[in-house]
Structure 1
């Protein structure tokens, strides 16, 4: 009898776990059907007008580190402020549905650094920097301090000669 109860309990636990996973909605911050080049062009135009740079995050909904970074920014007001005050942000999808190969080729194949990978463009659309996001990690995730320093070191003001005197 105990054996049957144990089998039924195990079956119920597995069924409940599977059902919970099936009903959990997948996070979708990247849009595979988006026109990445049009999104970048719009961000570049807006950045130029507002005296900012463009921050591009390349990744996919399949990438747990990409989602974790997105959540870190959303959940950290000071990081979100630094990003929003200094950059126009674009999420560029890389997935089976759309690898955005032509766009990423123009950006010197940033996927070679893994995902997410971050790119900084100026207000003319010139690629200024490609950042392997692994260098911004600490412990089991991205470091707020390292990400903030990175963003501050690549904003418009930081690249002006008078800032570096």
Structure 2
């Protein structure tokens, strides 16, 4: 009898503890999901606005193409937003825009206009100048290290495609 009472009280305690947890409804799951990439966004208009802003600020545009479903996209974003040095350099030199690629919206026309960068997988990065000319498409696998991205490789990528690196004046030697 004591065993039955012990088992019954144990089961009742377990159900009580479980009932106190927040139920996982569709609303709570949606709120927890990352929201970097917006499938409903007008990528063409957003890119045009980013180019206009970059031109006015003498920056380049960094398109981060991927989706909220992509763990590597989220890892890259975490690195460049949480690392102070990378974040500062990126924001000083680039207007950053996340361009969605998902089953809800593949942005096929926009990606065709950018030279089909999705061929490299995700995330993939496209650098545009202040006039909207595509300067470079970066396969992110070259920036990976372990289960994330290498800070040194990402910084090198940012530096190599910054406005200063592409400015001919940076390479002119002064006549003596």
Which of 83, 102, 106 is the equivalent residue of 1:99?
106
Counterpart Cα distance in 2 of 1:94 and 1:54: 18
Which of 112, 120, 126 is the equivalent residue of 1:119?
126
Query: Who is 1:75 aligned against?
Result: 82
RMSD: 2.4
Deviation at 1:162, TM superposition (A): 3.0
Q: Deviations over 1:92-133 (max 9, x none)?
A: 000000000110000000000000000000000000000000
Query: Who is 2:95 aligned against?
Result: 88
Deviation at 1:23, TM superposition (A): 4.5
1:138 aligns with 2:148: no
Query: Who is 1:66 aligned against?
Result: 73
Counterpart Cα distance in 2 of 1:124 and 1:87: 13
Partner of 1:83: helix, strand, or coil? Answer: helix
Partner of 1:97: helix, strand, or coil? Answer: coil
Query: Who is 2:34 aligned against?
Result: 27
Counterpart Cα distance in 2 of 1:106 and 1:149: 26
Runs of 4 or more off by more than 4 Å in structure 1?
Answer: none
Deviation at 1:138, TM superposition (A): 1.3
Can you give the 5+ residue segments of structure 1 that lack an aligned partner in the other structure? none
Counterpart Cα distance in 1 of 2:159 and 2:140: 15
Larger CA Rg, structure 1 vs 2: 2
Which of 42, 47, 50 is the equivalent residue of 2:57?
50
Can you give the 5+ residue segments of structure 2 that lack an aligned partner in the other structure? 1-6
Taking structure 2 as the reference length, the TM-score comes to: 0.81
1:153 aligns with 2:146: no
Aligned length: 158
Partner of 2:97: helix, strand, or coil? Answer: strand
